[in-house]
């Protein structure tokens, strides 16, 4: 690291702390030449993940889009923002843990459905009704009946 004041090419780290808000490390540094101190932040460089949509187009993964979909499913339900945020974090971890540059929107939908099923049954069914694009009411009822059977087991 180069001193930002005198451009000396060696500075020492005098303090390091995790910054949880943005997954980075805050480092307090001091230049042995000029004696001045400054702060740097070290973050992980993430490789962007592309989402392959149903029509074959690709777009960058967007956490806000994921959160908006989950919030719509949980609207007027007893699901807190903390629960929604935790589900988003869980889904995002699963996305990045695939170690792939591209992931299908279908796979992301499955991750969300797994989380919603544990979180709130009505939100799960709401999300599924949009995600699965049921052809008619009988297909929807089949899904609900299968879900109900799984709950009883």
27 lies in the same domain as 56: no
Residue 111 falls inside a structural domain: yes
143 lies in the same domain as 77: yes
31 lies in the same domain as 82: no
pLDDT at 19: 83
38 lies in the same domain as 71: no
59 lies in the same domain as 81: yes
80 lies in the same domain as 148: yes
Residue 128 falls inside a structural domain: yes
Average pLDDT of the residues of the chain:
89
pTM over 0.85: no
**Sign of torsion over alpha carbons 131, 135, 140, 146:** negative
For residue 7, give the nearest of 42, 28, 34 by alpha carbon: 34
**Rounded CA separation 61/67 (Å):** 12
64 lies in the same domain as 25: no
Domain count, the chain: 2
Alpha helices in the chain (DSSP H): 63-73, 81-96, 105-119, 121-131, 137-152
23 lies in the same domain as 54: no
83 lies in the same domain as 35: no
pLDDT at 141: 72
pLDDT at 130: 76
90 lies in the same domain as 131: yes
Regions of the chain where pLDDT drops below 70: 21-22, 133, 135, 151
24 lies in the same domain as 61: no
71 lies in the same domain as 141: yes
pLDDT at 81: 94
Residue 3 falls inside a structural domain: no
- Please state, as a whole number, how many other Cβ atoms lie within 10 Å of the Cβ of residue 134: 16
Q: For residue 62, give Cα distances in angstroms to 1, 50, 118.
A: 33, 9, 23
């Amino acid at each position: 690291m180069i001193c930002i004041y005198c451009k000396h090419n060696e500075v020492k780290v005098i303090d390091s702390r995790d910054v949880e808000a943005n997954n980075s490390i805050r480092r307090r540094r001091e230049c042995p030449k000029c004696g001045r101190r400054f702060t740097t932040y070290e973050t992980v460089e993430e490789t962007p993940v592309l989402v392959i949509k149903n029509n074959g187009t690709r777009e960058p993964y967007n956490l806000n889009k994921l959160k908006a979909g989950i919030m719509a499913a949980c609207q007027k339900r007893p699901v807190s923002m903390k629960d929604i945020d935790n589900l988003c974090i869980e889904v995002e971890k699963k996305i990045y843990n695939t170690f792939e540059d591209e992931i299908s929107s279908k796979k992301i939908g499955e991750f969300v459905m797994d989380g919603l099923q544990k979180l709130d049954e009505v939100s799960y069914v709401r999300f599924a009704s949009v995600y699965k694009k049921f052809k008619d009411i009988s297909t929807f009822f089949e899904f609900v009946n299968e879900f109900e059977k799984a709950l009883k087991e």
